[in-house]
A = this chain, B = another copy of it.
Amino acid sequence: MILNTYLNRRFGKPIWGCGRVRVKGVDMKILRIDVGEETVTAEAVPETLKLIGGRAFTSGWIYDFVDPECDPLGPYNHLVIAPGLLAGTPSSSVHRLSVGAKSPLTGGIKESNSGGIVAYKMARMGIKAVVIAGAPPEGKWSVLYIGPDGGRFDAAGDILGKGTEAAAQSLHHVYGDDAALMVIGPAGENRFSSAAILNSDREGFAARVCGRGGMGAVMAAKGVKAIVIDDTGTGPVSIADNDGFKKGAKQYIECLRETPQTSEIYTKFGTAAMTDVANELGGLPTLNFKKGRFDGAEKINGRTLYRTIVERGGNPSHACMPGCVICSSNIYVDASGEAIVRSLEYETLVLFGPNCGIDDLDELARINWMCNDIGVDTIELGVAVGIAMDAGIIPFGDADGVKGLLDEVRKATTMGRVLGQGAAVAGKVFNVKRIPVVKGQAMAAYEPRAIKGHGVTFATTTMGADHTAGFTIREGLDSHKKDGQVEASGRMQVNGMLYDMLGVCLFAHPAVRNRHDTLTRMVNGRWGTDITTAGLRKIAVAAMTTERAFNRKAGLGPSSDRLPEIFYREENPSSGTVFDIAPDALDALEYE
């Protein structure tokens, strides 16, 4: 384990099975679950892994224990669920949950994270990670219950086949309103590579999505329809050095409150604040990434979204996790004030919006709800549907047509299966010339010819075309020029990993970009350690190196670190640019 090699040097101890992580008498544990044997085993966490959390944990575990050549949907893959290092602590925006596996979509290592309350509760239960391995008996489906006294397999029963909303309602009926859930929908049950895992939010709605890379299909391959996390009887997480932690948290929250983005812009407009920025740059994916500017952008931008929600009595500033002061989430309601979806966000708005030629917020909210209920990644499906439109299956702008296609995904018709397998498969089947994917994964809503730093991230991150993996657009560069983009992407990729291992929401970045010391203080307070900010960053780099090493062994070499050729050849007419960052320059990207 590359991670361990680094840690070994730092802690000067052998790696596995030595010591144990204990904070004020509370032992942390890793739950190993074998779905073939139906066993749940709790084991102590070796001291050396104390500061390995979230994505650093999932990726390190996968590197150590998953054969890079294994079938992602076979018994040798592991589904690894790990709260970030700060999860459960009394702070803002720190309870993100990482879910990792070898991805059936990319064939490489994958981590997909979400907000909500799962990580928060797991942390309170002293759970460092849950690892699910093996293959279930043919046709067997379970609900995996994890409670204060351990774990058990319950029969999935009649929630099988249900959408995530109905399934969550049934589960709450059985396991109580306070249990946190991780649920898959019909898409997961059908092992679609776009299948997501839906996690409970603060109010118990399964609406926070680990969307990317088909983690829902891996969960399905383990025969697990849902995981119930019941933290009944647990208290707040133990904090080794309360004063130290509080000092860091106070400084951190001050940063959040003092920064306009985190105290006002994201709070009011949420992720949709990005719409005008991207449109202005000609970087808003429009009509299957044909161009980067959309006539109807104003109808779906952050301002319109905010105004509509406020006028109708919805909630424009919803917190998806306890203690969050940013509140970038929302509850989008219809004209009668009834909730349609929690929450309507930028990637969904754009990839089903401009990318599909649709400019109607209500329709986009309904489409979003359908995706959540079916249990698919809205990015993957938005791009796949854009491809289907480009191929003439339905016209651009046809919202009813989109809902019809999503119904097919739910029913797993042949058309639905093609779309459910994601944009790369849909692009191949429908033979369109522009297939906006990297490593088989659909691009998020940043047109890479106009926003070149995101293009670099899409190309080079181990994750496929993710946006959170290296978010460069706010890094002060000229988006249309290639200068500095590789360096910016490398830097933001490390930042991305850092936040993902801590469980910190990427939205805190504008506030703490120069104040990572506040995060470090919280980490040291929580765990009783004395790591430096540079030390945390070194762990992040080690974890990324681990991910890349896994990908290389899995067959994703440098030639997979590329945008599709057409983005080099065909101009984005809205920006007047092509993607012109040479393969050599991409290969030279460094994590720093």
- Is the C-beta of A556 less than 8 angstroms from some C-beta in chain B? yes
- Is the C-beta of A565 less than 8 angstroms from some C-beta in chain B? yes
A138's closest neighbor in chain B, by CB? B433
Bound-state CA distance A559–B554 (Å) is 6
- Is the C-beta of A250 less than 8 angstroms from some C-beta in chain B? no
**Size category of the binding interface on chain A:** 35 or more
A430's closest neighbor in chain B, by CB? B417
Bound-state CA distance A141–B558 (Å) is 35
Bound-state CA distance A556–B556 (Å) is 8
Bound-state CA distance A431–B217 (Å) is 11
**Of listed A69, A75, A429, A566, residue having the most chain B CB within 10 A:** A429
Interface residues of A in 545-566 (CB under 8 A from B): 552-560, 562, 564-566
- Is the C-beta of A425 less than 8 angstroms from some C-beta in chain B? yes
Q: Which residues of A contact B (CB under 8 A)?
A: 68-71, 74-76, 190-193, 393, 414-415, 417-418, 421, 425, 428-431, 552-560, 562, 564-566, 569, 583
- CB-CB under 8 A from A554, the residues of chain B are 559
Bound-state CA distance A378–B71 (Å) is 27
Inter-subunit contact B553/A69 (CB<8 Å): no
- CB-CB under 8 A from A552, the residues of chain B are 557
Inter-subunit contact A564/B429 (CB<8 Å): no
Across chains A and B, which 5 residue pairs bring their CB atoms closest together, nearest first? A555-B559, A71-B565, A417-B429, A69-B559, A414-B415
- CB-CB under 8 A from A71, the residues of chain B are 564-566
Bound-state CA distance A193–B428 (Å) is 9
Bound-state CA distance A78–B552 (Å) is 28
Bound-state CA distance A208–B573 (Å) is 45
- CB-CB under 8 A from A569, the residues of chain B are 74-75
Inter-subunit contact A425/B417 (CB<8 Å): no
A559's closest neighbor in chain B, by CB? B555
**Closest Cβ of chain B: how far from A550's Cβ, in Å?**
11
Bound-state CA distance A500–B325 (Å) is 69
A-B contacts, 14 listed (Cβ < 8 Å): A69-B562, A74-B566, A75-B569, A190-B431, A193-B428, A414-B418, A425-B428, A425-B429, A552-B557, A553-B559, A554-B559, A555-B555, A555-B557, A557-B557
A560's closest neighbor in chain B, by CB? B555
> Contact partner of A418 among B69, B192, B429, B559, CB < 8 A?
B429
- CB-CB under 8 A from A415, the residues of chain B are 414
**Closest Cβ of chain B: how far from A438's Cβ, in Å?**
12
